[in-house]
Each structure stands twice: as C-alpha cells, then as structure tokens.
Amino acid sequence: MVEELAVESTSKPVQRLNTQSLTDIPYQKDDRLSVGIKELDRVLGGGLVRGSLILLGGDPGIGKSTLMMQLSGLITDRGSRVLYVSGEESAYQIRVRAERLGIIGEGIQLIAGTELEAILDCAGQQKPDLMIVDSIQAVYSSKLTSAPGSVAQVRECGASLMHFAKDREVTTVLIGHVTKYGLIAGPKTLEHIVDTVLYFEGERTQQYRIIRTIKNRFGSTNEIGVFEMTATGLQEVPNPSSLFISHTEAPGSAVVSIIEGSRPLLVEVQALTSPTYFNYPQRIATGVDHKRLSMLLAVLERRAGISVYAQDCFVNVVGGIKVMETSTDLGIIIAIASSVRDKPIPRDMVVIGEVGLGGEVRPVFGLDSRLKEAENLGFKTAMIARNESSKMTYGLNIIDITEVREAVGHAFNQ
Ligand code: TYD
Ligand code: MG
C-alpha cells in the first residue's frame, strides 16, 4: 500500500498557456560543466548540464559518496560552489572522508539534515552550482506521514527536487541506494523523472568499479567509465582493457572484444575442460551466457570435429565482467578448443566473430573500433570473419575465416 498525498480540489480558473516559437528559446551550445574526471565526463555525455537532475544509484558501500566528494573537490577548485546535503553521515564523517581524499573543500557547503522543505529553503538561499543529496532515501517531506525511504517519500522528494533543479537551474545529483529487496523505493522509482541515470557497479571485494549510463537526456546511453578504489579514493582507469586480460600462457584462454557504449574493451575468456566422471558432463559458465555456451559446445562437436561430449567444461571471464555479445562466440570456441587440445593460442591474438549453428563465422558490428583497440594494446594478430571491412589496413596481421573448422585450424597453425 502506498500513501498518496490528498489534493484539495479548489475551483481555480483554468490557467492560460501561451505558445512559444522553438527558435525564440535562448540556446547556449555546450552549457556543460566539465568535471575533470574523464571517465565521469564521458558517462555524463561531456559534463554536467546546468539545471539537470542526475540519479546515481548503486549498492551501499560501492563508493557513491566518495565519487561525489571527489567531484565536489574538483569543481570547487575551479570556482564552482557545491552544496553537499548529507542525511546519512555527520558533518564530521564527511570531513574525515574529504581529508582522506586530500580535498581542500573551500566552496563546499555542508548540510547535515533530512527534512526536504528545510533543505530546499537553505539551498534556495545558497544558490549553489551543484547540489548533492546523499541519499534520496534519507530525506523526507513533512507533508507526508510515511517513513523516510518509503516509496511515497522517495517519489515526493524526487519530484520536489526536480522542480527545484529546473526552476533555479541548480544541477542536482541524487544518490540512491539499491536496496536489498530489489527495486522498491530504490533508484528505480525515480528513473522516469530524472534526466540522467547512472549506476555504479562492481564487486565490493574487487577493486574496480564501473559507472554505467542507463538513461541520458543529454548524451548517449550504455557508456561506461571505469574506476579503481584505492586508499586515496577512486582513480580513473583510462585503459580498462588491461584489467580484463591476465596474460597467462596456459592453454584455454583467448582474448575477445566487446563494445560497451561507444567504447571497445578487450576481455580474456578462459576455458577448462576435463574428462567427466558423471553421466552428464558439467557446463559451468561465469560471465558468459549458459545457453550460449551449450550451443557453442554443440557447434564445436559437430562442425569442428572436436569432441567435448565427455568433458566437463568451465568457462570464466577474467576480471568478473559479463560478456553478453555474440561477437565473443568465436573466442569462446577457440578457448575451449585450446583447452581440449592442451595447446595455447598465440598470446598476441584477438578473436572476433559470431558463430552460427552451421559452424559459419559471421561479421560483427564495430569491427574498426575493435581492431583499433587491439592495435593500441599491442596485439599483433586478429582473427575475424571474412568481410568487406577486413580489407582496411591496420597494424595487425588479419586472419579472415568463414568457418569454425578453419578458425580452429589457423589458431593452432595446422
Ligand atoms: P562510500 O563512498 O562511503 O560508499 P557509498 O556512499 O556508495 O555507500 O565508500 C565505500 C567504501 O570505499 C568504504 O568501504 C571504504 C572505501 N574507501 C576506500 O577504499 N578508499 C577511500 O579513499 C575511501 C574514501 C573509501
Ligand atoms: Mg554513502
């Protein structure tokens, strides 16, 4: 049950609306405030748009407050003014964090409070360039009687903050915890009213964090920014492919390419096969779709003549990232074949291609940017599907193939 605010029905005269010519509306190109963290600027579509409302969601403890404090530090250094509203931590705790992050903090004003009306009142007087509300679940409106963090409160506070951001042209970031019980009263409740939705992902036990754009009225979606959590805060990782490649020489690994937003990433897939002792062989996939793996194993068996029916098969993606792109099919097949044959493939080879049930290898989108990334990272050879764009020149030795059997042959130099 959700409490709704009762609306008094007053019989006011109907408002008159006027039309405006689109071209009469003042427009300033690139009215954006660059953050100064390249990875964050990218996910924002080039910086903070004035008067926009941004939602930053993520699990508790992932680093949302840390990132926003770092951002505050950077933009206040360049003369902007930030209002940091903390409903969860005391002013002292925030000072401790800022100290740890080496932030001077002149130009950052703090409010340790949770009542929305009081916060808006104060923010209206301060007129900051950026307001950060940490977190939306901690603030409450005194107009409602339900508890802070309930759906009704989150919705009401989100809507009021949106009006405030638009009317006063104060860029506002709402931090939202993804709650254990899924999406109720979490950031999802607000996704439709905000301009930009960013999610902070990653395993708390692992160092790297990925920030992902889910929605952006001022830029493209599916962009990612990669960070590493260090003792002195979040550091951007300008070359994230290096995180997802292990450089082992063992058989059973292949480097594949995925595209996240506009960014190509090279990722290592590892496979291990071993004779099964049960009636049903095990197929365990981490970071790879389970059904896709079964399909690829069948293709390998029937179209490439590599026997896997009596083998347990484990597939894992280095770095804990998930690959859901069909462009990784061929790489997964090569990795498994490499494990079955117990022969490594060249370490400087990247494998790109989608595989069909007939064993045919098909071209994938964005080949140019994938090959460029491989070249930049020092790869020497690329195995790709035979198609038009492979005639372009790269600093890579291109092996173009049409079938899985041919691919396996080339990978092991037969
Ligand atoms: P925090 O930003 O408080 O997470 P959130 O606001 O998303 O709940 O940071 C969470 C973790 O980050 C915390 O467990 C400690 C760690 N951390 C570092 O490793 N280095 C640092 O410099 C800081 C400030 C935090
Ligand atoms: Mg926090």
**Band of residue 76 on the pLDDT scale cut at 50, 70, 90:** very high
Query: Buried (b) or exposed (e) across 324-359, using 16+ Cβ within 10 A?
Result: ebebbbbbbbbbbbbbbbeebbeeebbbbbbbeeeb
Strand ranges of the sheet holding 82-86, from the earlier edge strand across to the other edge: 108-112, 82-86, 130-134, 171-177, 53-58, 196-201, 208-216, 224-230, 233-236
Burial class (CB in 10 A: 0-12, 13-18, 19+), 29: exposed
What's the gap in Å between 60 CA and the centre of ligand 1? Answer: 9
pLDDT at position 48, please? 93
Smallest CA separation from ligand 1 atom 25, residue? 233
Task: Write out pLDDT tens, residues 101-143.
Answer: 999 888 999 999 999 999 999 999 999 999 999 989 999 999 9
Distance 111 CA to ligand 2 centre (A): 15
- Any idea which residue has 């600027």 for tokens? 41
Ligand 1 — pocket residues by CB below 6 A? 58, 60-66, 97, 100-101, 229, 231-233
d(CA 170, CA 174): 12
* pLDDT > 90: percent of the chain: 56
pTM for this entry:
0.78
| pLDDT confidence of residue 226 | 87
Q: Of ligand 1's atoms, which has the minimum distance to the CA of residue 60?
A: 8
- From ligand 2's centre to the CA of 226, what distance in Å? 19
Least confident window among 29-43, 154-168, 320-334: 29-43
Residue found by looking up tokens 């960014």 in the block:
263
> Which ligand does the CA of 88 lie closest to?
2
- Top mean pLDDT of 64-68, 264-268, 315-319 is at 64-68
Task: Write down the residue that tokens 């041919």 correspond to.
Answer: 406
Mean pLDDT of all residues in the chain? Answer: 89
In ligand 1, the atom with minimum distance to the C-alpha of 229 is: 19
Closest CA to 214 of 237, 194, 197: 197
Measure 263 CA to ligand 2 centroid, in angstroms.
Answer: 28
pLDDT in tens, 252-311: 999 999 988 777 889 999 999 999 998 889 999 999 999 999 999 999 999 999 999 999
Burial of 180 (0-12, 13-18, 19+ CB in 10 A): exposed
pLDDT in tens, 2-15: 777 777 777 778 88
Mean pLDDT value of segment 167-180:
89
- Read off the pLDDT of each residue in 38-42 and give the average, rounded to a whole number: 89
Output the CA 133–ligand 2 centroid distance in Å. Answer: 10
The protein residue with its alpha carbon nearest to ligand 1, atom 13, reads: 61
pLDDT higher than threshold 60 for residue 390: no
Which ligand gives the minimal distance to the CA of 63? Answer: 1
Q: Which domains does the chain have, with CATH numbers?
A: 31-238 (3.40.50.300), 242-411 (3.30.230.10)
Residue 407 in contact with residue 334, Cβ under 8 Å?
Answer: yes
What is the average pLDDT across 28-44? Answer: 85
pLDDT, one tens digit per residue, over 133-149 is 998 999 999 998 888 88
The pLDDT of residue 174 is 95
- Quote the CA–CA distance of 155 and 149 in Å, as a whole number: 9
